[in-house]
């Protein structure tokens, strides 16, 4: 199928971003994330929504969470303007899943399964370039020179939310809010569970086979 509509689900650290980028390149579709969609539409006029602020930018600059209804409208706009997409990071809860059903039809729903123990190891060991944002890992993906980014020479840091306490809290939030979303999609004709503890290339092979078969 040309221009497939794909959704990728999974906990923080499961590899959604990496695999979504490969999907976007291989199938020529847009990689839509809530963060990117918000940044691209931060000056969208939401004055008709009876919200505190009139643009997403105002929420972001105030350090406040953007309300669900605004996020829903922005995702809807991003999907409608895309010739095929892989949606990553949305829906995060059942209310958003119901909104998504009104926005579009999905061809394939990919769910990356990774154990909690593995996720903690991945996330607490992650290091990010403070300049260009390139990702590394203290065990699985080390830079050529310790603490230095291969791409730009920037300093590698541990993000504040990648310490063990924060990671476990993020996983608790995921299990409470987003695991029910995955269960919601298990009856979807295009639902495929993928073993996310394989190597990235093995995960990609399973994803490619699932998309080619169902889309």
pLDDT tens for each residue of 112-121: 999 999 999 9
* Residues 6+ positions from 19 with CB-CB distance below 8 Å: 8, 110, 112, 200, 203, 204, 207
> What does the pLDDT average to over 40-59?
82
Helix (H/G/I), strand (E/B), else coil: 66: coil
pLDDT band at 1 (very low <50, low <70, confident <90, very high): low
CA-nearest of 16, 24, 210, 8 to 119 is: 16
Average pLDDT along the chain: 91
Q: Is 126 a catalytic residue?
A: yes
Higher pLDDT among residues 48 and 72, named by residue = 72
pLDDT at 38 over 90: no
Look-up of token digits 């009139």: 54
Q: Is 122 a catalytic residue?
A: no
CA contacts within 13 A on the Cβ side of 125: 14
Question: In whole angstroms, what is the distance from residue 114 CA to residue 83 CA?
Answer: 30
Q: Is 16 a catalytic residue?
A: yes
Active-site annotation holder among 57, 92, 116, 168: 92
Question: In whole angstroms, what is the distance from residue 87 CA to residue 109 CA?
Answer: 10
Average the pLDDT over each of 5-14, 17-26, 32-41, 71-80 and give the range with the smallest value: 32-41
Q: Is 168 a catalytic residue?
A: no
Active-site annotation holder among 39, 122, 170, 214: 170
pLDDT at 195 over 80: yes
Question: In whole angstroms, what is the distance from residue 116 CA to residue 108 CA?
Answer: 25
Convert the pLDDT of each residue in 117-170 to its tens digit: 999 999 999 999 999 988 899 988 899 999 999 999 999 999 888 999 999 999
Tell me whether strands 191-195 and 156-157 are parallel, antiparallel or unpaired.
unpaired
Active-site annotation holder among 122, 126, 127, 214: 126
Q: Are 33 and 80 in contact (CB under 8 A)?
A: no
Check residue 100 and give its pLDDT: 96
Q: Is 170 a catalytic residue?
A: yes
Check residue 35 and give its pLDDT: 79
Check residue 63 and give its pLDDT: 72
Active-site annotation holder among 16, 122, 127, 214: 16
**DSSP 8-state secondary structure symbol assigned to residue 145:** B
pLDDT at 70 over 90: no
Helix (H/G/I), strand (E/B), else coil: 75: helix
Helices (H), 34-190: 34-40, 56-62, 68-80, 94-103, 116-124, 164-177, 179-185
pLDDT at 54 over 70: yes
Check residue 215 and give its pLDDT: 84
């Amino acid at each position: 199928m040309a221009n497939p509509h794909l959704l990728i689900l999974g906990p923080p650290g499961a590899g959604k971003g990496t695999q979504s980028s490969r999907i976007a390149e291989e199938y020529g579709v847009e990689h839509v994330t809530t963060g990117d969609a918000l940044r691209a539409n931060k000056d969208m006029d939401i004055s008709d929504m009876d919200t505190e602020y009139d643009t997403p930018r105002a929420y972001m600059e105030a350090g406040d969470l953007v309300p669900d209804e605004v996020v829903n409208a922005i995702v809807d706009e991003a999907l409608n303007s895309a010739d095929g997409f892989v949606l990553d990071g949305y829906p995060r809860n059942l209310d958003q899943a119901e909104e998504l059903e009104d926005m579009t039809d999905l061809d394939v729903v990919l769910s990356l399964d990774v154990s909690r123990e593995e996720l903690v190891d991945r996330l607490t060991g992650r290091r990010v370039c403070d300049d260009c944002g390139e990702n590394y890992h203290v065990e699985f993906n080390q830079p050529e020179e310790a603490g230095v980014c291969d791409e730009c020479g920037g300093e590698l840091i541990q993000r504040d939310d990648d310490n063990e306490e924060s990671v476990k809290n993020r996983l608790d939030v995921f299990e409470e809010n987003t695991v029910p979303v995955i269960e919601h999609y298990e009856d979807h004709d295009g639902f495929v569970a993928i073993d996310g503890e394989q190597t990235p290339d093995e995960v990609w092979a399973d994803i490619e086979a699932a998309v080619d078969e169902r889309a």
